[in-house]
């Protein structure tokens, strides 16, 4: 098992091994077909094997797939990203979202000369040491390592406060003035299940960080080019100093990116002293898949994603109501989570109060009926532009009675 959530630990059972995908469908080694609402955890916004991405990959395969030298595609991808997300005045491609977030933090520390970072409980920014810290809820406290192997020194530089709690952020900045290099946030939380930012939350983070001289880092690895043509920063009208990207910008191949303010990005080597590198950074196959994916995404794609996702969310809500199951459907664009919870979920503590065992039962019932949902209450389900009438109708059929005890 090469990544933990795939192991089905939180829902039980044995994960099917997948063999191939086609549009909104995936097929396991036993030939069973599933409607895919995981989509490789977000990247496959066009579904499986879309023709333009296949063609881009085939063309690149003919030319070679790694040169360790600059290629035109990297520049084209960077320019396309900058056009849609103008806050990325300069950007750097990496091979994963983890690398992007880790490098953005290093850069923020170098740019501010400060060592602390502030993150939100339940926020995931890849598995770099300083970002894995996840202290309990409440006002900012010195973190304790949540994962063996992370030193106390590293953990204590990471402050953790609840998502959507501006007052807790204020308190942390009062306690540690001019000490925080960066606030890093998923502008729409996706890794505690989907939790939207409350009105004013992101703007508040912008104001507090400007006042204190800390940088604001949006981790848009999921939301980038998923929740709107310009990501969450466009959707909510808040401009961060730095942005992390991944997932969709590689169309299902390994990629990441970080970028933002020119003056800050110019600190990155070779222009500046902050070292960061990668043998396969800007890999031509990943770049080709990413470019082909982004080029397919126009305003109509986002309208289609919104419609499909709205329909899916409404169907889940309707069915839960019919069965009397207490359920919250949190949805932003084409990312959504059904929380088995009688109360609104606005942060990690709220998400944790959900009935994960009930989610697991629902998950297996749907899997048996040919629907692949994320194998955890705390992950987002995703839609793609390939989710068409037939597949959405099949979801509604599978949903019938799925909440019965
Ligand atoms: C997936 C994810 C990452 C990590 O990206 P990898 O490519 O898995 O390293 C970082 N941040 C967020 C918000 C993510 O969802």
- From the candidates 247, 302, 347, 359, give the one annotated as an active-site residue: 247
Give the tens place of pLDDT for each residue, 349-402: 999 999 999 999 999 999 999 999 999 999 999 999 999 999 999 999 999 999
34 is catalytic: no
- From the candidates 34, 36, 119, 124, give the one annotated as an active-site residue: 124
- What pLDDT was estimated at residue 66? 98
Q: How far is the CA of 326 from the centre of ligand 1 (A)?
A: 30
Does a structural domain hold residue 334? yes
Does a structural domain hold residue 321? yes
Q: How far is the CA of 63 from the centre of ligand 1 (A)?
A: 29
- What pLDDT was estimated at residue 150? 85
Residue 136 pLDDT exceeds 80: no
Does a structural domain hold residue 173? yes
Residue 138 pLDDT exceeds 70: no
C-alpha–C-alpha distance, residues 98 and 4, integer Å: 15
Does a structural domain hold residue 66? yes
* 203/336 same-domain check: no
347 is catalytic: no
Average pLDDT over residues 230-258: 98
Residue with CA nearest ligand 1 atom 14 = 221
* 103/42 same-domain check: no
- What pLDDT was estimated at residue 81? 98
- Choose the final residue of a domain: 281, 296, 311: 296
Query: What CATH number corresponds to the domain at position 196?
Result: 3.40.640.10
- What pLDDT was estimated at residue 337? 97
* 247/276 same-domain check: yes
* 210/308 same-domain check: no
The ligand 1 atom nearest the CA atom of 101: 10
- What pLDDT was estimated at residue 83? 98
Least confident of 10-14, 182-186, 242-246, 269-273: 10-14
As for how many domains the chain has, the answer is 2
- Choose the final residue of a domain: 235, 261, 296: 296
247 is catalytic: yes
* 281/307 same-domain check: no
Average pLDDT over residues 27-55: 98
Residue with CA nearest ligand 1 atom 8 = 97
Residue with CA nearest ligand 1 atom 5 = 97
Average pLDDT over residues 251-262: 98
Does a structural domain hold residue 322? yes
Average pLDDT over residues 130-150: 58
Residue 224 pLDDT exceeds 80: yes
The ligand 1 atom nearest the CA atom of 246: 7
Give the tens place of pLDDT for each residue, 261-318: 999 999 999 999 999 999 999 999 999 999 999 999 999 999 999 999 999 999 999 9
Task: Place 133 in a pLDDT band, splitting at 50, 70 and 90.
Answer: confident
Please choose from 40, 95, 101 the residue to mutate so as to test ligand 1's pocket, defined by most ligand atoms within 8 A of CB. Answer: 101
Does a structural domain hold residue 404? no
Find the residues whose C-beta lies inside 6 A of ligand 1.
96-98, 101, 124-126, 186, 190-191, 219, 221-222, 246, 256
- What pLDDT was estimated at residue 141? 36
* 383/311 same-domain check: yes
* 154/117 same-domain check: yes
Give the tens place of pLDDT for each residue, 47-71: 999 999 999 999 999 999 999 999 9
* 265/307 same-domain check: no
* Host domain of residue 272: 51-296
Give the tens place of pLDDT for each residue, 190-208: 999 999 999 999 999 999 9
- From the candidates 219, 258, 347, 348, give the one annotated as an active-site residue: 219
- Choose the final residue of a domain: 262, 296, 330: 296
* 159/232 same-domain check: yes
Average pLDDT over residues 4-12: 90
Q: How far is the CA of 39 from the centre of ligand 1 (A)?
A: 14
Task: Place 148 in a pLDDT band, splitting at 50, 70 and 90.
Answer: confident
Does a structural domain hold residue 194? yes
Task: Place 85 in a pLDDT band, splitting at 50, 70 and 90.
Answer: very high
Residue with CA nearest ligand 1 atom 6 = 97
Averaged pLDDT score across all residues of the chain: 95
Q: How far is the CA of 324 from the centre of ligand 1 (A)?
A: 35
Query: What CATH number corresponds to the domain at position 31?
Result: 3.90.1150.10
Please choose from 125, 184, 257, 376 the residue to mutate so as to test ligand 1's pocket, defined by most ligand atoms within 8 A of CB. Answer: 125
Does a structural domain hold residue 215? yes
Residue 96 pLDDT exceeds 60: yes
């Amino acid at each position: 098992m090469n990544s933990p959530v795939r192991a089905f630990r939180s829902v039980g059972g044995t994960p099917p091994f997948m063999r191939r995908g086609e549009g909104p469908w995936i097929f396991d080694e036993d030939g069973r077909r599933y409607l895919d609402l995981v989509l490789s955890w977000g990247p496959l916004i066009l579904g499986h094997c879309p023709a333009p991405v296949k063609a881009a990959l085939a063309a690149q395969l003919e030319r070679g797939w790694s040169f360790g030298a600059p290629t035109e595609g990297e520049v084209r991808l960077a320019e396309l990203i900058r056009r849609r997300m103008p806050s990325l005045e300069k950007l750097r491609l990496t091979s994963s979202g983890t690398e992007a977030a880790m490098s953005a933090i290093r850069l923020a520390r170098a740019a501010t000369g400060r060592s602390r970072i502030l993150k939100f409980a339940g926020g995931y920014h890849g598995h770099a040491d300083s970002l894995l810290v996840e202290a309990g809820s409440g006002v900012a406290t010195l973190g304790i390592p949540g994962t063996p192997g992370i030193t106390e020194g590293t953990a204590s530089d990471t402050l953790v406060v609840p998502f959507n709690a501006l007052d807790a952020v204020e308190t942390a900045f009062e306690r540690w003035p001019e000490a925080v290099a960066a606030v890093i946030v998923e502008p729409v939380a996706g890794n505690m299940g989907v939790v939207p930012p409350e009105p004013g939350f992101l703007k508040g983070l912008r104001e507090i960080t400007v006042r204190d001289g800390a940088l604001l880092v949006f981790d848009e690895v999921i939301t980038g080019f998923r929740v709107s043509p310009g990501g969450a920063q466009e959707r909510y009208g808040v401009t961060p100093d730095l942005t992390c990207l991944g997932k969709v910008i590689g169309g299902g191949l390994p990629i990441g990116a970080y970028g933002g303010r020119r003056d800050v990005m110019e600190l990155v080597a070779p222009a500046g002293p902050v070292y960061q590198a990668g043998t396969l950074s800007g890999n031509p196959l990943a770049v080709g898949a990413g470019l082909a994916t982004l080029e397919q995404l126009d305003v109509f794609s986002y309208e289609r994603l919104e419609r499909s996702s709205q329909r899916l969310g409404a169907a889940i809500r309707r069915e839960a109501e019919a069965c009397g199951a207490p359920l919250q459907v949190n949805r932003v664009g084409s990312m959504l989570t059904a929380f088995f919870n009688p109360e609104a979920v606005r942060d990690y503590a709220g998400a944790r109060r959900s009935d994960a065992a009930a989610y697991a039962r629902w998950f297996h019932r749907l899997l048996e009926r040919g629907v692949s949902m994320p194998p955890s209450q705390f992950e987002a389900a995703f839609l793609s532009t390939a989710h068409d009438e037939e597949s959405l109708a099949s979801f509604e059929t599978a949903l019938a009675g799925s909440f019965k005890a």
